[in-house]
Structures are given as C-alpha cells and as structure tokens.
Amino acid sequence: MIRVAAVADVHFGADSAGTLRPHLADLGARADVLLVAGDLTRRGDPDEAAILAGELHGLGVPTFAVLGNHDLHLDRREALCAVLERAGIRMLDGDSAVVDVRGQRLGIAGVKGFGVGFRGASCSDFGEPITRAYFAHARDEACRLEALLRDLAGRCDLRIALMHYSPVQETLIGERPEIWAFLGSYLLAEAVDRAGADLALHGHAHAGRERGTTPAGVPVRNVAQPVIRSAYRLFCLGDGQPSEVAC
C-alpha cells in the first residue's frame, strides 16, 4: 500500500507564509509522497515560489509538482522551477519520476495539460493558425503524458497521472459550463486511457467536484484546495480502487 498526499491551487503569494506548513506537521507519518497539481503561485513570481518552498522544505517525504496556468503568467518558468528544485521539490514539467516505497515502485507522470474542451464542444485542429497552435499545445501536452505513462508501465507497480487541467467533465460540474473548455481537455483522458494509470490527479477547477472517471475507468480526483477544503487529500493505492482518507 502506498499513501499519496495531494493538493493543488495553493496560490502562494507574499502573504502566504505560515499558512500551509502547520497543517503538514504530521505528513511524514501519514503519507509516503506529496503531489502538488499546479497553481503553486499567484502570478508565477519566483519570490512567491520561494515562500512556498519554505513551507514544503524538509517535510520528510518526496515532493513532486507540476505547473499551472498561474505559474506561467510572468513567463519565468525556469526561474520559478529552479527555486522549488533547490528546496527539494521535484518539478515534473513534462517529466516523470519513480519512488520506491516498501518494496513497491510508484511512477508519477507530470504535465501541465491544457484546456481545449471536450468532444462535441472543443477547439479543433482546423482554421486560423492561432487556433491550430492552441489545439497543438493541448495535443502536445497529452501526447507527452501518454509517452511518460507508457515508459513507466514496465518499471512500476503503480502509476499516477499528475496534471493541472482536468481530463474529464465530471470534476468540472459546479463551474459555469461556458468555461469548461478552458478548464480541461478530452485529449488528456484519452492519453491516460491509452497508456493506463491507477489514478489521475488535477486541480484548476475551484468550483468543481472532487470525483470523476475516465471513459476507460481510471479514477480521476480534483484536488484543488477550494474543492477538498483541507491542506491535502490522502489516497491509499495498491489494492484495487484508490481509497481516500480524511485529513
């Protein structure tokens, strides 16, 4: 059994110091790994990232994160990631990692993802160049996720797809339907289903629902902090469907 703590959308800013760390004091006793599904900061300022790094440094568990849309606003991706990496937070910016936990290997495939909507109401690879470029970014993120998951398949006992944007519509219910196209993409679910995963985690949908499932049956969980209303959600993997533990 592997215990995974996950959260998203902490949106750290200049006034956030001390707001998260007190709730993570016992994390090492409760979880084997911490995953953060994007929107680590408010505007993508490395100074904001440094405040979050101070909260997450030295927790006693491996910590992994992906970027969200807020983290790219100032276009300082490399500097932001460097601040977090120096604090021991592994940034999965289109990358994967493997963690050994009590004889089991957990693989984590991390991408930001992108929102182009869902079948029947999505952007497509047609028309103006800017529209095709928009769709291409979403397709590239999904293709990268699929490749990472496939690579992990032969090396890991369990696999998690970690992203910021939602792969399914179920976890967006509660958000205005008019903006669903900006909150997720069917391409991500297709990537997860083709490659396989034990759990898919995302954030971004602050007013959405917590639970969903891909068309092929992979559990999807929205761990945006406004949705889970806690410092993190805890999942136990390794015996069928992931079980969730109240924090």
CATH number at residue 133: 3.60.21.10
Tokens representing 90 are: 């592994």
Residue pair 91/84 in contact by the 8 Å Cβ criterion? yes
d(CA 148, CA 109): 6
| 3-state SS, residue 26 | coil
- Ranges of residues in the chain with a pLDDT under 70 are 240-241, 243-247
d(CA 149, CA 196): 7
- Give the three-state DSSP class for 78: helix
Taken in order 66, 72, 73, 76, the sign of the CA dihedral is positive
For residues 230 and 247, give the distance between their C-alpha atoms in angstroms, rounded to a whole number.
Answer: 7
Q: Determine the pLDDT at residue 247.
A: 39
Distance of CA 6 to the CA centre of its chain: 8
Residue 20: how many CB atoms within 10 A of its CB? 19
Residue 144 belongs to what domain range? 2-245
Structurally, the chain folds into a number of domains equal to 1
**pTM for this model (two decimals):** 0.96
1 three-state secondary structure: coil
User: What was the pLDDT predicted at 239?
Assistant: 72
Distances (CA, A) of 34 to 2, 4, 20: 11, 6, 13
- Cβ-based burial of 119 (10 A; exposed 0-12, middle 13-18, buried ≥19): exposed
Q: Residue 136's pLDDT is what?
A: 98
CA 142 to chain centre: 13
Q: Which residues are CB-contacts of 26 (< 8 A; sequence separation ≥ 6)? A: none
Positions of E strands within the chain:
2-7, 33-37, 63-66, 89-91, 95-101, 104-110, 117-118, 121-122, 158-162, 199-202, 211-213, 219-222, 233-237, 243-245
